[in-house]
Chains A and B, each alone.
Chain A
């Protein structure tokens, strides 16, 4: 795993979990790798991995079955979706708007670009 230099590593691990959950690679209610396995996978100090697990547990994305391991919560998918949507609306969009006004790109132009992208996908 390559790390982005500015974001704390534990949050980057959290993002890695989100991706797996959103892409349904980790199903709701299914077991996820242990702290040690994750630490090994991303080559970090296990303390950092623990921090990521605790963060996700606080957000109720995952839960711990004592002695068995960690599992994706039953509504883990929707929880993550909410979090990421909120993040997009509150952080990514304002950044985008800032860039748009700097570069003088209007909403119509954006709309056209969006439609074009959609068409290409189909």
Chain B
């Protein structure tokens, strides 16, 4: 659906933010885009929505260059930026003036989501809190039913009950034709939603694997001190949580935070283990 090829980007007067990024996003998935602050997550998302142009390489959506910002392309991409301002009109008016541009917009879905988020169509957007504004935009972003939905730090500014609401809403809105990319550094908020992990570090793509593959190849947990075979990365002094090559151990749930730290510390080893699927689980 979305493909980037040798994507390179830098801002004027600053070193490269993205170097040679090759990605292939497919429908039916929720991608988690992780990286430390300032590692190019937002930049990549902006390139994916045509707001920034790659300095070299390209970024295409269904074969069309996104940079051209053709209406046919943009109709199927929606971005929820991390920071934004919405006009001081009612939610209803906001929906009215913007939804007409999206052929797959569902009015019913939008107003149901507003209800879910405890918002009323008559409310004036400028009187809402930042978290509520974000919910308006999230509801709108889901209801436009674009093939690609990009969210930059969507849970920033949401309180704890709202984060749970957000996960519920997201879980209900995925379908096989949609592709969702969520960029975040708050890995915990979303771990049950994501089924594919992309990690950026040092301007490079250092990890790009589905969680199915991760559970197949890696084991997460507290290993006893005698069980050091296949240890890749561990946290804490003793009995800390650690990542191992799974080998023939039981399947475990992926600990995204641990995986993230493991990848940042041992990118080469983890990727080598991930690639080993043909030879069983040898390390």
A interface, CB within 8 angstroms of B: 3-9, 36, 39-49
Contact = CB atoms under 8 A, between A and B. Distances in A.
Interface in B188-219: 192-195, 215
Given A44-B193, A45-B30, A45-B192, A6 B253 contact: yes
Judged by DSSP, the binding face of B is loop
Contacts of A9: 192, 253
A43 B195 CA distance: 13
Contact of A8 (B30, B164, B171, B253): B253
B170 to A, nearest CB: 8
Contacts of B96: none
Interface string B6-36: 0000000000000000000000101000000
A6 B221 contact: yes
Contacts of A44: 167, 171, 192-193
Interface in B163-202: 164, 167-168, 171-172, 174-175, 192-195
B251 A40 contact: no
3 smallest A-B Cβ distances: which pairs? A43-B167, A39-B171, A44-B192
How big is chain B's contact interface, by range? 20 to 34
A3 B253 CA distance: 10
B68 interface: no
Contacts of B28: 47
B252 interface: yes
B255 interface: yes
Given A43-B171, A44-B171, A46-B171, A7 B252 contact: yes
Interface of B: 28, 30, 164, 167-168, 171-172, 174-175, 192-195, 215, 220-221, 251-253, 255
A43 B168 contact: yes
A45 B168 contact: no
B176 to A, nearest CB: 9
Contact of A5 (B164, B175, B255): B255
B192 A48 contact: yes
Nearest to A51: B212
12 contacts: A3-B192, A3-B253, A6-B220, A36-B172, A39-B172, A41-B168, A43-B171, A45-B171, A45-B174, A45-B193, A45-B195, A46-B171
A3, A9, A36, A46 interface centre (most CB from chain B within 10 Å): A46
A32 B275 CA distance: 39
B172, B215, B220 interface centre (most CB from chain A within 10 Å): B172
Nearest to B165: A43
A102 to B, nearest CB: 14
A5 B168 contact: no
A44 B192 CA distance: 5
A110 B180 CA distance: 53
B202 to A, nearest CB: 29
Given A42-B192, A43-B164, A49-B171, 9 more contacts: A5-B220, A6-B220, A8-B251, A8-B253, A9-B253, A40-B168, A41-B168, A44-B193, A45-B30
B215 A8 contact: yes
A4, A6, A36, A42 interface centre (most CB from chain B within 10 Å): A6
B252 A40 contact: no
Contacts of B194: 45
Contacts of B253: 3-9
A7 B220 CA distance: 10
Contacts of A6: 220-221, 252-253
A114 to B, nearest CB: 30
A3 B168 CA distance: 15
